[in-house]
Structure 1
Amino acid sequence: MTNETIDRSRDLSQPLDRLGPDESMKDRSDYLRGSICEGLLDRITGAVPSDDDVKLMKFHGIYQQDDRDVRDERRRQKLEPAYQFMIRVRLPGGVCSPAQWLKLDELARAHGGETLRITTRQTFQFHWVLKDSLRPIIQGLHDTLLDTVAACGDDSRGVMCTVDPQSSQFHADVAAMAKRVSDHVIPKTRAYHEIWYGDERVASSEPEEPFYGRTYMPRKFKIGFALPPSNDIDVYTQDLGFIAIGGPGGLEGFNVVIGGGMGRTDQAPETYPRLASLVGFVPVDRVIACADAVMAVQRDYGDRKDRLRARFKYTIDDKGLDWIKACIEERMGTHFDEARPFEFASNGDSYGWNSTPDGRHHRTVFIRSGRLDLKLLDAFRDIARIHRGTFRMTPNQNVIIAGVRTDDRAAIDALLAEYGLGAENVSPFRRNAISCVAFPTCGLAMAESERYLPALMENVEEILDRHGLADEPITLRMSGCPNGCSRPYIAEIGLTGRAPGKYNLYLGGGFHGERLNRMIRENINVGEILEVLDETLGRYAREREPGERFGDFTVRAGIVRAVTEGRLFNE
């Protein structure tokens, strides 16, 4: 049996009578079809009426939401919530052609409230989408070979890849592998084509889901490719991370890390974030087999009863890393090789113009919280009309105008200047701050994030200025709930929402994403947050050692204890 033909059939090690409610729902869904088609036809409500279908639509890249700013008022008026949907695009490695950008722009203007959002996983989200606009958007994406398959749900989510194009051919090889893995691991069910494209169902004797089976993964599964020295994808937060290793002949293979994950629940101390563990090296020709084997172990041994404990990180900690590694090697048909040396030196984006050996030029444009409002849509529409390279979404929610030809630089610079998009005006602190969407659209949000971040940055920048730290890059990640979409638990300053105006404050993460932070204050208001930061940043300005990062200082100075592994995060 070759690596490419490794057995992807499901080991039915967990009887159906031991499945939790969501697992039973997936089992009876007819491979993600449910009654979604019928729900889309219901004109009595702006929602999809079946709770099961709401969950199944996540596998199709769609979240049902409502406008929380008007929820209470509509309840008082005895109206149903102002239902709308979020649609997430599958965009492996964050790479988008100008033609695809123009289609995304067109659809956002027609159906998405004249806004697009770049996510922390390098893709786009449409918000404010009404039910009647779901099919037009998905069919419009199909016109330029884009889709939303597996952008959400209990499957392999969109595959990330380092985007900073400092080494053109090396990066191209890694990006191509990320795309190949993405295409390999998505569900194979035809439900998506039937529901959204109107294809007829075709009978077949072949298994509809040869790998996932009827119940798919226990929870979401995230894969990412990092290209040292950049850790912009935060590879240690991935369920499965591939760290590219090169040699004289180019890409040789990848160090493999497993078991990262950010989500936790405030009132459940048995939940915690975890950084991925390094288990070894695989050459290029074993990457697909490795991905299959790792996912199969989580598929068969992940907790399907308790969703709070269903992520791969808990499977590893419950079973033991050595046991999990041995299972992966058995399914892969070979042992991991010894891990190769590597080093990360940054996890941010490079601004200004950069050039690569192929004679092309690349310019990163700062996008606050990844929100493309109408002005920014106008700017990038004009750029896309003349650009002959690609656009690359960064994990820090920015856009790289990549592959620019020398004779196009002046025209692109002129457009950037016209719309006021020069990166030179962005402080180091703002460049290293990201946030999730939170209110008013996310149903999980407990506090503001994206909408509050600008005011928070202004207040913190005043503190930095007062202590002479205005030019010091410090990572800040803000999330409206503890689920951690903005990866707050690895930031030097992390904030997670508890209630409107209240947050948990975390300090001590590693600047390059290599260390978890620790909570220093719980459920405090904005004034208290600024007081703690003023005091701590003041000490940092006075007591830091040459070249010492803020997160490292808070640990060395005893302000917070270092978190050595995820299981100790809540201690």
Structure 2
Amino acid sequence: MAEQKLAANEGIKIRSNYLRGTIKEGLADLSTGSMSEDDQQLLKFHGTYQQDDRDLRPARRKHKLEKAYSFMIRIRVPGGVATPEQWLETDRLATQFANGTIKLTTRQAFQFHGIIKSNLKRTIAEINQAAMDTIAACGDVNRNVMCNPNPYLSSIHGEVLKISQDISNHLTPQTRAYHEIWLDGEKVESSEDVVEPIYGKTYLPRKFKITVAVPPSNDVDVFANCLSFIAIVESGKLVGFNVSVGGGMGMTHGSEETYPRLADVIGFCTVEQAQDVAEKVVMVQRDYGDRTERKHARLKYTVDDHGPDWFLAKLNEYLGYELGPVRDYVFEDNGDRYGWVEGINGKHNLTLFIQGGRVLDTPTYPMRTGLREIAKIHDGDFRLTANQNLMIANVSPEKRPEIEKLLEQYGMKDSHLQSGLRLNSLACVALPTCGLSLAEAERYLPSLLSELEEVLEEAGLRHDAITIRMTGCPNGCARPYISEIGFVGRSPGCYNVYLGGGFAGQRLSKMYRENFPGEKIKELLAPIIHHYAKERNDGERFGDFCIRAGYVAATEQGKDFHKNIKDEARA
């Protein structure tokens, strides 16, 4: 049998000398705002993507100008916890080098947009000076490890956070390239001295995502990730984790060989084994993931192709011991707990709703300024949630009155007094900066929510929680395929509409309409919302109702996701 040709990115990694490439030379070339194609791929491993403002493309093309290139930088925040000092530095960098806003991502990271090439190195260097970094925030490696920011059992948050941070540190690439390029570290002359003990010379076939959850909250969406650890607590003590593998959201329109997939829960490990399990799962994917077709290179396809039982057996082989049997757990939701929540040691946590995760000032809502002022006096920490919201955490009794006064002054006190639908919404960045986006998401979803809130008011459902998510392309960064209502950009102004996902992120949704005009979505969903209000069972969630009422069928794993039920059944 002829040897299969490797995907192009494999060659880029092989030739890169452990992620160095010609990035240093490209940064020095100020005749253009862009980088070479190979270096654009390598830059992802360093936490940055080259982009351009697509709103400006027509005018610049008309005047024969280069695209308005800039860079997105993603700051890793393992477990989503940052100090007030780090918040203030992030805020300063957003003004000095970015577009004046901070994006809180669906993976508990900070994101900057609009950084020009001449400022790229300085920005990353100053991020590191603030005791943060961008290495492995993107690329074919393990990315930011997520952790439940406000578990109901807050006494164990410190434990699960430390495990998340330890896993993140352990799986960080060891190459000196990051320090050489961005921090002026000493260059290692001999490549023989370079070792990547976990990843090897070609790293992973594709990106890799890890989460840690504390039931009953699934706010980090464990089933949408490559590897997850589900905390098992007995008699108030963390005894270990159920291990899930093989989740992932991305797909490609028109390709039934690509699909979102929910993770399988395959076993149990002790607290002491968690880091070892994470390493060995990564190594199995390193050795058995598909390196010939990038669209088929995620861990979800490795698990799907070989089967969960095969993967568990292979993992046990790499570990040298066996995972234990899965232990009982229950997830109730995947949303955030808004407002003030009592913490431990007499301290409190406040979760603010941040529309689309975009921290900015507007004439009527100076939120970014307010958060800056809070950071100046806060003696606890800030926690980014996987739902793009922000928690002001570990607020001391002495500081709470001061913080409440600032919340009132800057209009944030009632940020969470929104409809249940809006509070459970997510949107990716999409246009104008994402090069993959086919339609709007972050800029469009708020106005669509306002339209749907009119229907909710009529139906008496304003305060009912319904998960709704929108992405500008099928890669699914806002995890729309597990929301009760999902929109995935298909063409300008048009979306694939999905219904029937699980309220706790435990079930895939099903396509209800394909390439549907955004301006008609309210008209499309209004009858279903009214039907739900009138005929739902006690405690029945919207996604469950959509399946019971026949709007969509329950979705199975794999290619079944692409099957549409007949229009007659939808009616």
TM-score tier by shorter-chain length is over 0.9
Structure 2 counterparts to residues 480-519 of structure 1, below 5 A? 480-519=472-511
User: Residue type of the partner of 1:55?
Assistant: Q
Q: Does the Cα contact within 8 Å between 1:93 and 1:175 map onto a contact in 2?
A: yes
User: Residue type of the partner of 2:295?
Assistant: L
User: Residue type of the partner of 1:502?
Assistant: C
Residue equivalent to 2:157: 171
Query: 1:419 & 1:16 partners in 2: Cα distance?
Result: 63
Query: 1:64 & 1:435 partners in 2: Cα distance?
Result: 21
Once the 2 structures are TM-superposed, how far is the Cα of residue 425 of structure 1 from its aligned partner?
2.6
Query: 1:532 & 1:429 partners in 2: Cα distance?
Result: 16
User: Residue type of the partner of 2:508?
Assistant: L
Provide closer, same or farther for how the CA distance between residues 143 and 16 of structure 1 changes in structure 2, counting only shifts above 3 A.
farther
After alignment, is 281-290 or 164-173 more displaced? 164-173
Find out whether 1:69 has 2:61 as its counterpart.
Answer: no
Q: Does the Cα contact within 8 Å between 1:165 and 1:362 map onto a contact in 2?
A: no
Residue equivalent to 1:394: 385
Deviations 1:384-427 (A, max 9, x none): 00000000000111100000000111111111111111235322
Find out whether 1:380 has 2:379 as its counterpart.
Answer: no
Q: Does the Cα contact within 8 Å between 2:45 and 2:139 map onto a contact in 1?
A: yes
Q: Does the Cα contact within 8 Å between 2:151 and 2:214 map onto a contact in 1?
A: no
Once the 2 structures are TM-superposed, how far is the Cα of residue 210 of structure 1 from its aligned partner?
1.5
Once the 2 structures are TM-superposed, how far is the Cα of residue 269 of structure 1 from its aligned partner?
1.0
Find out whether 1:247 has 2:234 as its counterpart.
Answer: yes
Query: 2:316 & 2:454 partners in 1: Cα distance?
Result: 52
Give the secondary structure class of the aligned counterpart of 1:569: helix
Give the secondary structure class of the aligned counterpart of 1:407: coil
Residue equivalent to 2:271: 284
Give the secondary structure class of the aligned counterpart of 1:70: helix
Q: Unmatched 5+ residue regions in structure 2?
A: 564-571
Give the secondary structure class of the aligned counterpart of 1:423: coil
Residue equivalent to 2:307: 320
Query: 2:183 & 2:3 partners in 1: Cα distance?
Result: 32
Deviations 1:24-79 (A, max 9, x none): 1111110000000000011111111x100011000000000000001111111110
Moved >6 Å (runs of 4+): none
Query: 2:82 & 2:279 partners in 1: Cα distance?
Result: 26
Give the secondary structure class of the aligned counterpart of 1:564: coil
Give the secondary structure class of the aligned counterpart of 2:399: helix
Find out whether 1:46 has 2:58 as its counterpart.
Answer: no
Find out whether 1:414 has 2:405 as its counterpart.
Answer: yes
Residue equivalent to 1:195: 181
Residue equivalent to 1:7: none
Deviations 1:467-493 (A, max 9, x none): 221121100000000000000000000
Once the 2 structures are TM-superposed, how far is the Cα of residue 362 of structure 1 from its aligned partner?
0.5
Q: Which of 49, 60, 77 is matched with 1:91 structurally? A: 77
Once the 2 structures are TM-superposed, how far is the Cα of residue 512 of structure 1 from its aligned partner?
0.6
Find out whether 1:127 has 2:113 as its counterpart.
Answer: yes
Q: Does the Cα contact within 8 Å between 2:70 and 2:117 map onto a contact in 1?
A: yes
Query: 1:509 & 1:566 partners in 2: Cα distance?
Result: 15
State TM-score, norm by structure 2.
0.96
User: Residue type of the partner of 1:58?
Assistant: K
Q: Which of 328, 350, 356 is matched with 1:341 structurally? A: 328
Structure 2 counterparts to residues 7-18 of structure 1, below 5 A? 18=5
User: Residue type of the partner of 1:283?
Assistant: T
Q: Which of 162, 168, 185 is matched with 2:171 structurally? A: 185
Once the 2 structures are TM-superposed, how far is the Cα of residue 18 of structure 1 from its aligned partner?
3.7
After alignment, is 522-531 or 86-95 more displaced? 522-531
Query: 2:6 & 2:544 partners in 1: Cα distance?
Result: 43
Query: 2:68 & 2:415 partners in 1: Cα distance?
Result: 37
Q: Does the Cα contact within 8 Å between 2:175 and 2:194 map onto a contact in 1?
A: no
Query: 2:327 & 2:559 partners in 1: Cα distance?
Result: 27
Q: Does the Cα contact within 8 Å between 1:329 and 1:336 map onto a contact in 2?
A: yes
Q: Does the Cα contact within 8 Å between 1:167 and 1:356 map onto a contact in 2?
A: no
Query: 2:39 & 2:367 partners in 1: Cα distance?
Result: 34
Provide closer, same or farther for how the CA distance between residues 249 and 362 of structure 1 changes in structure 2, counting only shifts above 3 A.
closer
Q: Over aligned residue pairs, what C-alpha RMSD do you find?
A: 1.4
Deviations 1:341-399 (A, max 9, x none): 11111211111111123111110111100001133221111000000000000011110
Once the 2 structures are TM-superposed, how far is the Cα of residue 335 of structure 1 from its aligned partner?
0.9
Find out whether 1:368 has 2:333 as its counterpart.
Answer: no
User: Residue type of the partner of 1:515?
Assistant: R
Q: Does the Cα contact within 8 Å between 2:474 and 2:489 map onto a contact in 1?
A: yes
Give the secondary structure class of the aligned counterpart of 2:231: strand
After alignment, is 469-478 or 384-393 more displaced? 469-478
Q: Which of 126, 148, 152 is matched with 2:134 structurally? A: 148
Q: Which of 421, 426, 430 is matched with 1:429 structurally? A: 421
Residue equivalent to 1:460: 452
After alignment, is 559-568 or 279-288 more displaced? 559-568
Query: 2:371 & 2:559 partners in 1: Cα distance?
Result: 44
State TM-score, norm by structure 1.
0.96
Query: 1:247 & 1:546 partners in 2: Cα distance?
Result: 31
Deviations 1:111-145 (A, max 9, x none): 01111100000111000111111112111111121
Once the 2 structures are TM-superposed, how far is the Cα of residue 168 of structure 1 from its aligned partner?
2.9
Residue equivalent to 1:31: 18
Residue equivalent to 2:259: 272
Provide closer, same or farther for how the CA distance between residues 46 and 189 of structure 1 changes in structure 2, counting only shifts above 3 A.
same
Find out whether 1:234 has 2:221 as its counterpart.
Answer: yes
Once the 2 structures are TM-superposed, how far is the Cα of residue 538 of structure 1 from its aligned partner?
1.5
Query: 2:50 & 2:193 partners in 1: Cα distance?
Result: 32
User: Relative contact order: is structure 1 or structure 2 higher (C-alpha 8 Å, sep ≥ 6)?
Assistant: 1
Q: Does the Cα contact within 8 Å between 2:52 and 2:67 map onto a contact in 1?
A: yes
Query: 1:446 & 1:92 partners in 2: Cα distance?
Result: 30
Residue equivalent to 1:9: none
Q: Does the Cα contact within 8 Å between 1:351 and 1:423 map onto a contact in 2?
A: no
Once the 2 structures are TM-superposed, how far is the Cα of residue 206 of structure 1 from its aligned partner?
4.5
After alignment, is 369-378 or 515-524 more displaced? 369-378
User: Residue type of the partner of 2:392?
Assistant: I
